[in-house]
Amino acid sequence: MSGTIVLLNLAGAVALLLWATRMVKTGVERAYGDTLRGRLRSTLGNPLLAVITGAGLAIAFQSSTAVTLLIASFAGSGVVGGMAGQLAVRGAEVGSALLVKLLSFDLRLLVPLCLVAGTSFFMATERREWRQLGRILVGIGLMILSLEMIGTAAEPLRDSRLLPVIIGYFSGDPVTAFLIAALMTWLFHSSIAAVLLLVALAGRGLIPAELGVVLVLGVNLGSSVIAPLLTRGAAPAVRVVPIGNLLMRGAGSLVALTLLLTFKPPLALLGTTVPDQIVHAHILFNCVILLAGIPLAGLVYRASKALVALSSPTVPEVAPAERSALEEDALDRPSQALANATREVVRICETIEIMLVEIMDLYRNPDKARIDHLAALDDRVDRWHAAIKIYLAKVTAHQLSESEAMRCQELIGACIKLEQVGDIIVRNMLVHVRKKMERKLEFTEDGWRELTAFHASVLANARLAFNVLVSRDRETALQLVQEKDRLRDREKSSTQGHFERLRAGTARSVETSSIHLDTIRDLKQINSLLASIAYPVLEEQGLLRGSRLKAS
């Protein structure tokens, strides 16, 4: 068999291992993610329970990196302290290593059982929980099958004349082997898959014990780099836990490599076979890091905070002074006071427009810092809304003409509607963003296209409404109300398209169904509130009767 065919078979087996690992992880997250997150959140206050829960989650999610990112998000939102979070991550690393041990046993009999049971569960029902259980079982079966495929694909390498030369070189240059293993793990984004690959190759006699342990230490370095890189753009509070993991596990792998090369301990103590020695070295290393991490937790936490602060220096932001146009001296001049109030309402309009633009971008690129910023904008709208209402109430205490009284009521009504729009964005749509982010959901291409088109129409109508509020232009007001009717038709079309995808069984449509429909509903409600800003103008000109436009 040619070397190209051997490498192609080996690459295919490794690809199947990575795919199966991801398949199990996805199934667990979709079926039990909320329950497992709740369990983790409730146990993080107790260090021992945090370690145990972290280990259990790593086994369930098939990934210590996933647990690290989850705990980092909790730390960023203040649910857990940094030190408790780091202990939970230590437990997750041990759990990940124990899972490798479990999968290193001869589990070939489970392959047909898992594939048959998983396929049956997935195809026999439409219930989400059972289908995800089926996904998990099929993934486990494929993982075990992929390990067998790796061993079979690597068998011809025993007769290779080139392989002993490569192995001999890396055995004589352990630092390079260590770094290549780290790079391989980072590319895999899975320490489990990387160690299982080493175990499968060692089982065919292709990797000696000494080199295998060096490679395992490199795997641990590569695994510790993944989470910090994935969170490099996150808020500082989120990055502390991944950086702490890098300090402990990454630095620990360097120390362990130095000790291994210096003292050359007898590896026979780790097991009678090379695969056992590799797996046990992986477990031992992570257990030592866990035990060392308990007394060092405070020091590592402070060091990780300092590193995060150095990498993202906080420059004090000088916020522009919120100079209010609501001058008390103008209250005895109603026309001037109403002009002042209009300026403040326009400022709310500008803020609402920013919020409308930001919210849809957050659906695509959720980010904790930007979510907090959007919520802060709503707080600002609430403050301005309250100040304007009080100011206009004071205006009405003076003698007003009929037109001034109508304008006063119009501004109050617009202000209330704008405040309600802000509440919908923050209390409804941001909830959808967080849900999508936590569950790692993705819209279908058609679904996302429909949502963005619907949002673009609402945003265009919002700008029309803001113009009507200032100009009180008859034609613009008419166009705004007519666009409301057109948007109703777009809503029906979007909903119909969504249900067609559900009937077709599109997985992502099923997973995002509630978010899709709720977002359409929220945007429609926002559009209705903004369109109603035009009603006073149309009513004043006799173009509005009840809830319908007169023929013009």
193-230 confidence digits (pLDDT tens) = 889 889 988 988 889 999 999 999 999 999 999 889 88
Average pLDDT on 422-446 reads 84
pLDDT above 80 (res 345): yes
Residue 529, H or E segment: helix 513-531
Q: To the nearest whole percent, how much of the chain has pLDDT over 90?
A: 20
pLDDT above 80 (res 447): no
Question: Which class would CATH give 329-549?
Answer: mainly alpha
Whole-number Å distance between alpha carbons of 438 and 259: 41
Half-sphere exposure of 522 (CA within 13 A, CB side): 25
Which DSSP letter does residue 190 get?
-
Higher pLDDT, 516 or 3: 516
Cα-atom radius of gyration of the chain, to the nearest Å?
30
Report the SS3 class of residue 80.
coil
Report the SS3 class of residue 545.
strand
Average pLDDT over the chain reads: 82
Whole-number Å distance between alpha carbons of 530 and 512: 27
> Residue 518's closest CA among 444, 464, 451?
451
Give residue 39's pLDDT. Answer: 66
> Residue 220's closest CA among 166, 244, 168, 256?
256
Tokens of 200: 């499968």
pLDDT digits (tens, 9 = 90+) for 318-338: 344 456 778 787 788 888 888
Average pLDDT on 501-513 reads 66
278 close to 200: Cβ distance less than 8 angstroms = no
Average pLDDT on 30-36 reads 65
Whole-number Å distance between alpha carbons of 101 and 229: 27
Give residue 551's pLDDT. Answer: 45
Q: To the nearest whole percent, how much of the chain has pLDDT over 70?
A: 88
> Residue 396's closest CA among 341, 471, 344, 470?
341
79 close to 434: Cβ distance less than 8 angstroms = no
pLDDT digits (tens, 9 = 90+) for 227-269: 898 888 776 777 888 898 899 999 999 999 999 999 999 999 9
Higher pLDDT, 315 or 380: 380
CA end-to-end distance (rounded Å), the chain = 83
What helix, strand, coil percent values describe the chain, rounded to 5? 85, 0, 15
Give residue 317's pLDDT. Answer: 42
478 close to 543: Cβ distance less than 8 angstroms = yes
pLDDT above 60 (res 150): yes
Higher pLDDT, 500 or 424: 424
Tokens of 365: 């690129």
Whole-number Å distance between alpha carbons of 169 and 291: 34
pLDDT above 80 (res 144): yes
Give residue 207's pLDDT. Answer: 92
- φ/ψ of residue 549, rounded to 5: -75, 140
Tokens of 329: 């001296």
User: Start-end ranges of CATH 1.20.58.220 in the chain?
Assistant: 329-549
> Residue 90's closest CA among 226, 237, 245?
245
Give residue 312's pLDDT. Answer: 59
What own/partner pairs with CB < 8 Å and gap ≥ 24 does 136-140 have?
136/23, 136/24, 136/27, 136/28, 136/31, 138/23, 138/114, 139/20, 139/21, 139/22, 139/23, 139/24, 139/27, 140/20, 140/24, 140/110, 140/114
Average pLDDT on 411-435 reads 89
Give residue 491's pLDDT. Answer: 77
> pTM here?
0.56
Tokens of 358: 């930001």
pLDDT digits (tens, 9 = 90+) for 47-94: 788 788 888 888 877 778 877 877 776 666 555 555 677 888 888 899
Higher pLDDT, 537 or 96: 96
Whole-number Å distance between alpha carbons of 240 and 228: 9
Give residue 257's pLDDT. Answer: 95
> Residue 89's closest CA among 259, 252, 326, 204?
252
Give residue 319's pLDDT. Answer: 41
